[in-house]
């Protein structure tokens, strides 16, 4: 059983029930719905298929709604436009039919010409196509192509260093958020977060006690200066390496990734590493050697989850890709042994849950043939335990189905739905389902109205109620 989780993006290649079920059985724990693409009918169908697969497999799987955010994209047009280095490409307010040889595109940000001047870089499709502004002529932006390639509809447009008046949560995001909350998504990721204030704004829009987890996507250089506050306000972060590399520079990504993973682990927060992890498998049945190393090292760095994007949304081998990632994760976890061992002490607010989680993870490493189970009533019950990186997956005993699905993203947490989350039921589950288990550390993180906690140790080879020792 792997501890590092897999996030798979759904798309045209993977929106049906049969393939979603296969993905779950291949090791996918979270399904990402990318609201930069698709419509309400697509997402409604995808959610229905996930729910059906949850029931038929008996497995937990979280639904992640990825809000588009203030992303500028190329407007729709037929086919694709190929540009070569040295050519002139014009960016207009809207696409028009031209009888001449002028190549042009439009973007979904009216009035962009007001915020650009000659010499400014424009990057398209994660920087694969690069332009330099030569002239602003009325509402047209005339650009010299400095790196050629194909431009397709809805590809992203980056303007490194440009200061555009963009809200972190657009009107589209607000509409999509209402849709997501109505359909019961488990996690919401906010794109292009610049500061903790962006997360605060999102939280103000989400009402109710049982809110989805909130993940801040780190893809703007400005966010790097406010990471501690962003982590405090959110449930975790995503290292979105595509836009971040374009905006901050490709050569900075390895160090940034390691630093962000470390900081998230130190605060007991989720961290997802994303973008091009097995990109070559979008069109090929086997991964590149560098991709294998990338996945392996992300596990050793301490990522909670790894994400697949185009590999599963539009790829030719989505299920095989998930299986390859799951196998690589298991190999890294087995060969990496105690690396990473988690932070020595997590900087958290709840000293009871923090201390008991620390002790439980440590005890399970010291006691031979030992498993961990925990009575879980809230996501805060697993945050510390997950980031202390227990040696084996934790059996998380839950009675609430919504919480059961939400826990699927947490590292080393294996949710189990029970009518009653008790020591006896936990011991019985471990005895029946985990081969070789001889001892059990059981954590009750809400023993007295959330103000106390306790640990029990039992030999599960005998009647559990006769072998309980409390600590």
- In this prediction, residue 100 carries a pLDDT of 58
DSSP string covering 307-344? EESHHHHT-S-HHHHHHHHHHHHHHHHHHHTT-S---S
Structure tokens at 334: 């087995």
Average pLDDT estimate for 273-283: 97
pLDDT tens per residue across span 317-353: 999 999 999 999 999 999 985 545 556 778 777 788 8
Q: Is the pTM of this model over 0.75?
A: yes
Q: What percent of the chain has pLDDT over 90?
A: 70
User: Is-contact 67 190, C-beta < 8 A?
Assistant: yes
Average pLDDT estimate for 263-281: 95
Lowest-confidence pick of 44-48, 77-81, 183-187: 77-81
pLDDT tens per residue across span 401-459: 999 999 999 999 999 999 999 888 999 999 889 888 888 999 988 765 445 667 777 77
pLDDT grade, residue 462 (50/70/90)?
A: very low
pLDDT grade, residue 224 (50/70/90)?
A: very high
CA–CA distance, 186 with 408 (Å, rounded to integer): 10
Bigger pLDDT: 464 or 204? 204
- In this prediction, residue 338 carries a pLDDT of 52
Task: Return the number of other C-beta atoms located less than 10 Å from residue 101's C-beta.
Answer: 7
Structure tokens at 330: 């298991």
Average pLDDT estimate for 351-379: 89
Extents of the domains making up the chain? 5-70+168-335, 72-158, 351-470
The CA distances from residue 451 to 232, 251, 361, 384, in Å, are 21, 47, 20, 16
CA–CA distance, 246 with 130 (Å, rounded to integer): 11
Q: Is the pLDDT of residue 470 over 60?
A: no
Q: Is the pLDDT of residue 465 over 90?
A: no
* Burial environment of residue 150 by CB neighbours within 10 A (0 to 12, 13 to 18, 19 or more): middle
pLDDT grade, residue 208 (50/70/90)?
A: confident
Average pLDDT estimate for 192-197: 95
CA–CA distance, 36 with 30 (Å, rounded to integer): 18
User: Is-contact 264 228, C-beta < 8 A?
Assistant: no
CA–CA distance, 260 with 220 (Å, rounded to integer): 13
User: Is-contact 305 4, C-beta < 8 A?
Assistant: yes
Q: 3-state class of 374 per DSSP?
A: strand
CA–CA distance, 456 with 442 (Å, rounded to integer): 5
- In this prediction, residue 41 carries a pLDDT of 96
First to last CA, the chain: 28
- In this prediction, residue 42 carries a pLDDT of 96
User: Is-contact 129 147, C-beta < 8 A?
Assistant: yes
| Inter-helix orientation angle 318-336/289-301, to 10° | 50
Task: Name the strand (E) or helix (H) holding 46.
Answer: helix 40-57
Buried b / exposed e along 288-315 (16+ C-beta atoms within 10 A): eeebbebbbbbbebbbbbbbbbbbbbbb
Task: Name the strand (E) or helix (H) holding 387.
Answer: helix 380-387
CA–CA distance, 321 with 331 (Å, rounded to integer): 15
User: Is-contact 275 240, C-beta < 8 A?
Assistant: yes
Q: Is the pLDDT of residue 231 over 90?
A: yes
CA–CA distance, 455 with 461 (Å, rounded to integer): 19
Q: Is the pLDDT of residue 99 over 60?
A: no
Cis peptide leading into 340, omega within 30 of 0?
yes
- In this prediction, residue 460 carries a pLDDT of 66
pLDDT grade, residue 104 (50/70/90)?
A: very high
In this structure, which topology does domain 5-70+168-335 adopt according to CATH?
TIM Barrel (3.20.20)
User: Is-contact 421 415, C-beta < 8 A?
Assistant: no
| Inter-helix orientation angle 17-25/40-57, to 10° | 50
Pick the CATH number of 351-470 from 3.40.1380.20, 3.20.10.10, 1.10.760.10, 3.40.50.300: 3.40.1380.20
Assign domain 72-158 to a CATH class.
mainly beta
Q: Is the pLDDT of residue 355 over 90?
A: no
Mean pLDDT of the residues in the chain: 90
Q: Is the pLDDT of residue 87 over 50?
A: yes
Find, among 48, 43, 49, the residue nearest to 65 by Cα.
43
């Amino acid at each position: 059983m792997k501890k590092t989780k897999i996030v798979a993006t759904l798309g045209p290649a993977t929106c049906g029930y049969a393939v979603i079920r296969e993905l779950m059985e291949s090791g996918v724990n979270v399904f990402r719905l990318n609201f930069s693409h698709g419509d309400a009918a697509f997402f409604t169908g995808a959610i229905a298929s996930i729910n059906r697969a949850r029931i038929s497999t008996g497995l937990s799987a979280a639904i992640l709604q990825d809000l588009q955010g203030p992303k500028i994209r190329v407007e729709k047009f037929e086919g694709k436009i190929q540009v070569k280095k040295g050519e002139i490409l014009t960016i207009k307010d809207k696409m028009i039919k031209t009888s001449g040889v002028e190549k042009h595109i439009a973007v979904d940000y009216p009035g962009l010409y007001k915020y650009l001047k000659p010499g400014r870089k424009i990057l398209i499709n994660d920087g694969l196509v690069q332009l330099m502004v030569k002239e602003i002529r009325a509402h047209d932006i005339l650009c010299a192509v400095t790196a050629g390639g194909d431009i397709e509809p809805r590809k992203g447009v980056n303007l490194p260093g440009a200061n555009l008046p963009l809200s972190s949560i657009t009107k589209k995001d607000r509409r999509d958020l209402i849709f997501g909350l109505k359909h019961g998504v488990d996690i919401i990721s906010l794109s292009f977060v610049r500061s903790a204030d962006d997360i605060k704004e999102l939280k103000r829009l989400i009402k109710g006690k049982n809110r989805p987890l909130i993940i801040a996507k780190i893809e703007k250089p400005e966010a790097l200066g406010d990471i501690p506050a962003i982590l405090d306000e959110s449930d975790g972060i995503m290292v979105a390496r595509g836009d971040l590399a374009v905006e901050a520079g490709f050569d900075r990504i390895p160090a940034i990734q390691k630093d962000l993973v470390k900081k998230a682990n130190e605060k007991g927060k989720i961290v997802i590493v994303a973008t091009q992890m097995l990109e070559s498998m979008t069109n090929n049945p086997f991964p590149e050697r560098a991709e294998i190393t990338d996945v392996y090292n992300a596990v050793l760095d301490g990522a909670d989850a790894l994400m697949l994007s185009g590999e599963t949304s539009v790829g030719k081998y989505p299920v095989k890709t998930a299986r390859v990632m799951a196998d690589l994760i298991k190999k890294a976890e087995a060969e990496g042994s105690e690396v990473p061992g988690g932070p020595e002490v997590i900087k958290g607010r709840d000293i009871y849950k923090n201390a008991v989680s620390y002790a439980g993870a440590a005890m399970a490493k010291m006691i031979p043939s030992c498993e961990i189970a925990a009575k879980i009533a809230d996501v805060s019950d697993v945050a510390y335990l997950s980031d202390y990186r227990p040696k084996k997956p934790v059996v998380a005993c839950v009675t609430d189905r919504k919480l059961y699905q939400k826990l699927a993203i947490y590292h080393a947490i294996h949710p189990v739905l029970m009518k009653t989350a008790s020591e006896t039921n936990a011991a019985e589950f471990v005895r029946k389902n985990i081969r070789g288990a001889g001892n059990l550390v059981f954590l009750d993180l809400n023993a007295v109205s959330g103000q106390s906690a306790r640990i029990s140790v039992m030999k599960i080879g005998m009647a559990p109620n006769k072998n309980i020792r409390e600590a």
